[in-house]
Amino acid sequence: MKMTLKGIDIASWQSNLNLHNIDYDFVVVKATEGTGYINPCCDMHVQQAIEMGKLFGVYHYANGLDPIAESNFFLQNIQGYIRKGILVLDFESGDNSAWNANPNEWVKEWCDNVYSQTGVRPLVYIQASALDKVSGIGDYGLWVAQYASYEPTYYQDTPWNEGAYDCAMRQYAGDNGRVYGYDGGVDLDKFYGDEETWMKYADPNGEYVAPQPQVQTYVQPVQNDGTTYIVQSGDTLSGIASMYGTTYQHLAEINGIADPNVIYAGQEIVISGEPVANASGEEYYTIQDGDTLSGIGATHGVSWQWLAEVNNIANPDLIHPGTTIRVR
């Protein structure tokens, strides 16, 4: 059994990431933000981790609104994951009105409400330079973020400045993190403990049972002159496209799929053929290197403010190549 674990944390930015294709011990997935945002990719990624027998967690990004309302919103949307994966509060400065207004009290109230309802003590994510903002929260573990640089890096056995903080987990790379099997950036993390320790955070009173990969019954793709495929659990449109030597943009176009990040097990995908009309009238664009939100808006005749709003982009100056966003 490993005494430390390597893993990643992800959000909707990594919507095209298939966890079946990469190496990791655990994944922490963004579930909610504030009192209104739900990550549309959360369940897909959690289910992929479960299918592989991997450890997982889910996190809430704080907006600094009422802490009881935010924690209740989080719990309402992760009911199926409680006592199965770790629970986390992501407390950062961006879009967070509590950052400079009694942060210790806010974080403690959020965590206390989660603990009172679940019996599970959430971890708290915080940058190393802001540890004073959570110094009075009580008996809640910390997940500390600090990077040596922003140069691309893969998993590290000994991250820079390791041991400087009393924490359960360390994030040592942000968008500069890389894993084999995925072209985009991911946050890289190190957990200080083994699988049993992880599960004690998830379910303090539970008896540890090592997660096992689920036995998957392979269903032969339904063929229609070699041009259709039936979506399986854990599939992504980009993964299907790779199998057939095409692009997910092409599959989305010919199947009339408005949002390429949302497909369903059992759905029939046409692999080749003429485009199907998109009844919703929505259009999507995949961000390229060098793109800006204002530039994308100008190209498609919309404002960057509208793009940020409809795509739940918290920081319009921070967009990621490979992410598909709605532009109409």
Mean pLDDT across the chain: 87
Question: Which two three-digit tokens encode residue 157?
Answer: 């056995």
Q: Is the Cα torsion angle 147, 149, 155, 159 positive or negative in sign?
A: negative
Give Cβ neighbours of residue 266 (< 8 Å, ≥ 6 apart): 230, 231
Tell me which residue of 1, 4, 50 sits closest to 29, measured CA to CA.
50
From 8-12, 15-19, 253-257, the region with the lowest mean pLDDT: 253-257
Interior angle at CA 126, CA 37 and CA 305, nearest 5: 40
Between strands 55-61 and 37-38, the pairing is: unpaired
In tens, the pLDDT along 26-36 reads 999 999 999 99
pLDDT at 205 > cutoff 80: yes
Average pLDDT, stretch 251-275? 76
Residue 167 burial (CB count, 10 A): 23
Q: Which domains does the chain have, with CATH numbers?
A: 5-202 (3.20.20.80), 220-281 (3.10.350.10), 284-326 (3.10.350.10)
Yes or no: say if 71 and 90 are a contact pair by the CB < 8 Å rule: no
Rounded CA-CA distance 273/276 in Å is: 9
Yes or no: say if 29 and 39 are a contact pair by the CB < 8 Å rule: yes
In tens, the pLDDT along 62-120 reads 999 999 999 999 999 999 999 999 999 999 999 999 999 999 999 999 999 999 999 99
pLDDT at 287 > cutoff 60: yes
Rounded CA-CA distance 95/248 in Å is: 32
Rounded CA-CA distance 325/287 in Å is: 7
Rounded CA-CA distance 21/51 in Å is: 12
Residue 96 CA from chain centroid, whole number: 19
Tell me which residue of 269, 237, 236 sits closest to 255, measured CA to CA.
269
pLDDT at 320 > cutoff 80: no
- The one-letter code for the residue type at 14 is Q
Residue 190 CA from chain centroid, whole number: 16
Per-residue model confidence (pLDDT) at position 214: 58
